[in-house]
Structure 1
Amino acid sequence: MMVRLVKTAGTLSSEPGMKSVTFALTLTCLWPVSEALADRIDLNAPASSATVYPDGASVTRIVEFSAPAGQHQLVIPDMPAGTDPAALRIKAEDVTLGSVELQSARNLPDHATQPPAITAAQASLREAHDAVRQFDRSQQALATRAEALRQRAQITRDLLQGDSRLPADEIPETVERMGALIEDLLAQADEQDHQIAMREPDRQPLLEAIDRAEAELAALREDSSNHETLILTVEATGQPAQIAITGFTNAAGWQPDYELRLDRQADSLTMQRGVTVWQSSGEDWSDVQLTLSTARPQSRTDPTHVPSWMPRFGRPDATEDMVMAEEFSAADAQRGANLEMAAAPIGAAKMSRMGITVVYDYPGRVTVRDQADSLRLTLDEKQLTPDVMAEAAPRYDDSAYLIAESVNATGEPILPGAVTLYADGALVGRSQIGLVADGDKLRFGFGPIDGLRAEIRLPEEIAGEDGFIRRSNTMHETATLIVENLTDEEWPLRVVDRIPVSRQEDLRIEWSAEPEPTATDPDGRRGVLYWESPIAPGQTQEIVLTTDLRWPDDNELLR
């Protein structure tokens, strides 16, 4: 039995039933038949499908071939440079898989068949050179024709000057006839020169075509040199066979990108969902089936290890010992966390929604170029039911803002990403949206409403810089919140302000408001107050908010 050192590790599957067999090889046992006697089959395996995660991608290649029954060596030279052999997963159908080798440090003894893309680029370069040569030949033919015409005119002129045998009465007619011939010949020669000059600009595009073909060939050759070669030894059955090769790359990712369109007249909020996909894996993904997954195979799978905490008390001079004990405990906790992280396995890609993982199968096929700009793809469109209002915070802003609140009723989570906002057809701006679970509330701001002015007024003659009157152990503020509607429409208005919140029993806080707020501590935001009511065109609303703070003597208020 022969033994050969190989580099790779991965998962093998073979007939019958495509049962997967995991391998992690440093030595591979080969069949007794010498590989030198095996037929060699050169194949190309471009990417056919990709599952892209937020921070990586699984790329699958499908190799289909037919071979007579017996042992064969499959040579696949277009694996991207940097392919991780430990991440390779190989499944074979209608063929038995033997040894697997990934070559990067050296080439095969005899080179694999040249990639078809390079062959096509070489043919294009030859065609470009042929086009220039053909053009130059046609230009030269015109120049030769012009020179021949001028020589004929010169010969005719020489004959006319040297012929003295003509009768005197025929000389005028002969001169006229020969002169007309010379003139016609020279005119034809000039026309050839004119054609040459008119055609000369057509040469530059042909030269540029050569430059493009040379650049394309150079890029393909460089790309080819940056690839690794996968060598599979198989036992064929004589039937058409298929091998699926899946690898993982860190150099890829995707993120959501949204458009939100608020139409107040139609009372609708339309969310157009898209994604931006990028990759720099070392190869173009041409015409691949794309799947987007929210799984993060490279992230931690376990929570942080929480160590025990055992505090103690002692004499003041034992402080140093306590500090050392705390530092030891912290170091031990960190070691535990590191051990947990090191033991975390790599997660597997999921091709359907399972638990908290969401998968999008993009319809049709797409092309994602290597190291190119991000590709934006449109996913779908969702309709949300908005609650539209104008919201003013006079303590901080001088205008009210257009707000739309809704509930995520899409049946799936809204993932974090950038969002472009439109209000009544006009572009408002760009923002970010966080994760919104299915059924959770969401809120979007669509910019200021210039006709809804907001301000806060404080009694200047008695107020300090922040509106408070201070004494040794008291503080008092009376603030007037004002919103004025200068638009020609009625708005549902929410005015937002806050009062201080005490977390100490001896810090006493009293407040009053006229009118009373319609909501206090909304969504658990302690001390926040809402006043909600419509505001008509030309109307001004005022809210008077009074706040008093009192604390023990010989203490200071810490902001």
Structure 2
Amino acid sequence: MRLLLSAFALIPSLAWADIIPVPSQVSDVTLHPYSAAITRTSSLKIPAGQHRLVLLGVPRGIVPESLRVDLSGAERTSLIYRDTFVPPRDYKSDAVLAAENTLRTINVRIQDVHNAAAKARLAADAAKSTIRFLDNLGENEGLAQADPESLRTLAQVVGQEALGAAQTAHEAELKARSIEQNLKPLQKERQEAQEALQAIALEDENRLYIAIEATATTAGTATVTLSYLIEGASNWAPAYDLKLETSDTPTLTIQRDAMIEQNTGENWTDVTLHLSTVEPVGQIAPSEIHTNRLRISEPRPDPAPQPRQKQRAEAYLSDAPLAEPVVADAVGQTWQVATSTVGVTYTYGRPVSIASNADVLRLELDSLSEPAEVMAWAAPLRDTTAFRIARVTNTTGEEILASPFTSRYVDGELIGSDAFSGLVSGEQADIAFGPIDGLQLSRDILARNEGDTGIISRSNQKTETVEIKIDNLTKQNWPLRLLDRIPYSEQEDLQISWTARPMPSDQNADNRRGILAWDMKLKPGDERTILLETTLNWPEGMVLR
């Protein structure tokens, strides 16, 4: 792409009549999970003739291959793109010029206050000079020859003059301080003006140089549209409130919101916002699978210990097959939803404004409701209480996306937050809604015979008896699914047998080997006991690990 764009720059320039700066505003944004598709538009008056239209505002951080520029109202003869040696420019938007003028006006007003205070202090300075003069009279050598009456008269005059001067200095200082009180609101006003200027003057010299050489046969209005991708400077994620109502007809309501933030370096003001599940800068082709060559050879004696540095070097130089790289799978208000073969796009029905590197916006999407089956799940191997589960099926006809932000409520009360793995259309899910303190669990080992103690058992038999108890101390009926486990083996010589009273409803629950499940219904005050016995046998001379 850079070679292609360089080729654009090498197209011979036409003798254009003038250079026209073209400021543009972000008008349309499509947010992908880790990128943003930006559209900027601008309309300008263009005279007849040949012109160079310099497109302002495009940041350097774009994906160059994604840049598209369209011009209507004039004929485009060439496109010039430059991301190095960008020529300087002194263009400023009208909004920036107005903000700078406001700031200058406030600074002048602040300086006027300082000048007025300084003028008021002139009287204080003059009075202080008078006081110093009067103080120096006492050091005059001629006063030594004066008679006492003259000295008394002089002292009285000096005292009166000094008092008057001191009062004048005090009053002048008070007046100056009163004038300076006007600085506080002005300083606050200046800070707000500086912040306002920073908010709209995010554009700096770190911008691309993009220009269109165009010819207009007649004077008129031209429209320029730029579109490009910015990677990693913005993101969005679903945020849900899952609200479970446990009435006679339990219902799960999913309040869907979207969390949005961006740090593209410029504010988005009144843009049309789209949220897309497609990731255009992600992986688009399957990973390559390399061949896996195996060899056999005569057994070799164990190598002598080597220094660690040498071991690492030999491991690096060996011709063993390389490990395959691990590639992770990409995983009220008026909204329009468009579903395509590659993803879903939500379009917000109102203009949206998001400040760069400042705002975190939460927009309300919609609310979905599904009937729920409320039950309890218990895992006494790990927990002392059962947990409330809502079983729901997505019948909305659209995918409910995964979300890292999911608050969960039961009958209007917040019980916690957790991630949500998402639901495709038609999928069933079991969603947890916190512990049920009144469903108490216990799991005790009544007997165990495992021969030698320790991590490795050298006996050829091991037996264990476990007692599991469930007490319903609540005042309601509970359908309960209890999960526990037994060991399993893939070796014929390791024999595992077990028995349970009562027997589980499901063995290898959820297609997980060794996981047992009991389904039961508990009335208030019910207590259930499960006895689980396991026996392991293996040949003499072998060890259980």
TM-score bracket relative to the smaller structure: 0.7 to 0.9
Q: TM-score, normalised by structure 1?
A: 0.74
Q: Which residue of structure 2 aligns with residue 17 of structure 1?
A: none
Counterpart in the other structure of 1:259: 241
Shift of 1:519: 2.1
Specify the alignment match of 2:485 in structure 1. Answer: 498
Matched residue, 1:42: 21
State the Cα distance separating 1:215 from its structure 2 match.
Answer: 4.7
Residue 316 of structure 1: how far off its partner (Å): 3.7
Alpha-carbon distance, 1:134 to partner: 7.9
- State yes or no: 1:249 paired with 2:230: yes
> What is the Cα deviation at residue 117 of structure 1?
2.3
1:526 counterpart letter in structure 2: R
Whether 1:475 and 2:466 are equivalent positions in the alignment is no
Residue 92 of structure 2: aligned partner: 114
In structure 2, the partner of 1:94 is 73
Look up the match of 1:449.
436
- In structure 2, what is the Cα distance between the partners aligned to 1:199 and 1:268? 67
- Aligned equivalent of 2:538, options 533, 551, 554: 551
TM-align CA RMSD: 4.0
Contact 1:7 1:25 in 2 (8 A): no
Q: Runs of 5+ in structure 2 lacking a partner?
A: 122-172, 304-313, 328-336
Tell me, what secondary structure is at the counterpart of 1:274? strand
Report deviation, 1:121.
0.7
User: Residues 544 and 77 from structure 1, CA distance in 2 versus in 1: closer, same or farther, beyond 3 angstroms?
Assistant: same
The answer as to 2:180 corresponding to 1:204 is: no
Per-residue CA distance 1:316-367 (angstroms, 9 max, x = gap): 46999xx999954735x97xx89x9xxxxxxxxxx95332422222221212
For 1:400-453, what per-residue CA distance to the aligned partner results, in whole angstroms no more than 9, with x for missing partners?
111112222232333222211112211111211224332222222111111111
Contact 1:407 1:439 in 2 (8 A): yes
Aligned to 2:106: 128
Deviation sequence 1:97-129 (CA, Å, 0-9, x none): 1222345555657x4542122211122224434
- Aligned-pair CA distance for 1:510: 2.1
Partner of 1:60: 39
Matches within 5 A, 1:69-468: 69-103=48-82, 105-106=84-85, 108=87, 111-129=89-107, 132=110, 201=181, 203-217=183-197, 223-238=203-218, 239-250=220-231, 251-265=233-247, 266-316=249-299, 327-328=318-319, 330=321, 353-418=339-404, 419-459=406-446
Q: How far off is 1:507 after superposition?
A: 2.4
Shift of 1:472: 2.5
Matches of 2:7 and 2:230, distance apart in 1: 19
What is the distance in 1 between the residues matched to 2:387 and 2:346? Answer: 35
CA distance in 2, matches of 1:519, 1:372: 53
- Distance change (3 Å), C-alpha of 1:72 and 1:461: closer
- 3-state SS of paired residue (2:278): coil
Q: Deviations over 1:346-398 (max 9, x none)?
A: xxxxx953324222222212122212243222222221222211111112211
| Alpha-carbon spacing, 1:59–1:222, altered in 2? closer, same or farther (3 Å) | closer
Code of the aligned partner of 1:243: V
Question: Which residue type is aligned with residue 467 of structure 2?
Answer: T
Residue 84 of structure 1 deviates from its aligned partner by 4.6
CA separation of 1:202 and 1:491: change in aligned 2, threshold 3 A: farther
Q: How far is the alpha carbon of 1:242 from its aligned partner?
A: 1.9
CA distance in 1 between partners of 2:302 and 2:340 (Å) = 52
Give the letter for the 2:245 counterpart: D
Which string of whole-angstrom CA distances, capped at 9 and with x for unpartnered residues, describes residues 434-490 of structure 1?
A: 243322222221111111110012226878999x9x882222222111011122222
1:138–1:402 Cα change, 3 Å: same
Q: Deviations over 1:479-519 (max 9, x none)?
A: 11101112222222221111222212232222222222222
Structure 2 Cα separation of the partners of residues 447 and 529 of structure 1? 22
In the alignment, residue 67 of structure 1 is paired with which amino acid? I
Deviations 1:35-86 (A, max 9, x none): 2xx2332221121111111111111101222323332221233222444544
Match of 2:523 in 1: 536
| Separation (CA, whole Å) in 2 of partners of 1:137 and 1:308 | 83
- Aligned partner letter, 1:366: V
State the secondary structure of the residue aligned to 2:339: coil
Contact 1:390 1:492 in 2 (8 A): yes
- Could you say what secondary structure the match of 2:349 adopts? strand
> Quick one: which amino acid aligns to residue 505 of structure 1?
E
1:519 paired with 2:506, answer yes
* 1:151-204 deviations in Å (ceiling 9; x for gaps): xxxxxxxxxxxxxxxxxxxxxxxxxxxxxxxxxxxxxxxxxx999998875541
TM normalised by structure 2 equals 0.75
Tell whether the 8 Å contact from 2:8 to 2:78 is kept in structure 1 after alignment.
no
Structure 1: which 5+ runs fail to align? 1-5, 11-22, 144-192, 341-350
How far the C-alpha of 1:268 sits from its partner, in A, is: 0.8
Note the alpha carbon deviations across 1:203-246, whole angstroms, 9 max, x for none. 41122212332454466556333434432211224443322101
Q: Secondary structure at the match of 1:420?
A: strand
Distance 2:85 2:487 in 1: 72
Number of aligned residue pairs = 472
Distance of aligned partners of 1:55 and 1:416 in 2 relative to their CA distance in 1, 3 Å threshold: same
Query: Matches of 2:461 and 2:412 in 1, distance apart?
Result: 52
**Deviation at residue 256 of structure 1 after TM alignment:** 2.0
CA contact (8 A) 2:117 2:177 kept: no
**Match for 1:436: what amino acid?**
L
Inter-partner Cα distance in structure 1 for 2:389 and 2:533: 27
Greater mean deviation of Cα atoms: 472-481 or 212-221? 212-221
Identity percentage over the alignment? 31
User: Are the equivalent residues in 1 in contact too, given 2:373–2:391 (CA < 8 A)?
Assistant: yes
Specify the code of the residue in structure 2 equivalent to 1:403: I
Distance (Å, rounded) in 2 between the aligned partners of 1:72 and 1:314:
76
| CA distance in 1: counterparts of 2:480 and 2:36, whole angstroms | 47
| Contact 2:271 2:351 survives alignment (8 Å) | yes
SS at match of 2:46: coil
User: Cα–Cα, structure 1 residues 509 and 221, in superposed 2: closer, same or farther, change >3 Å?
Assistant: closer
* Separation (CA, whole Å) in 2 of partners of 1:517 and 1:82: 60
* C-alpha spacing 1:8/1:113, structure 2 compared with 1 (3 Å): farther
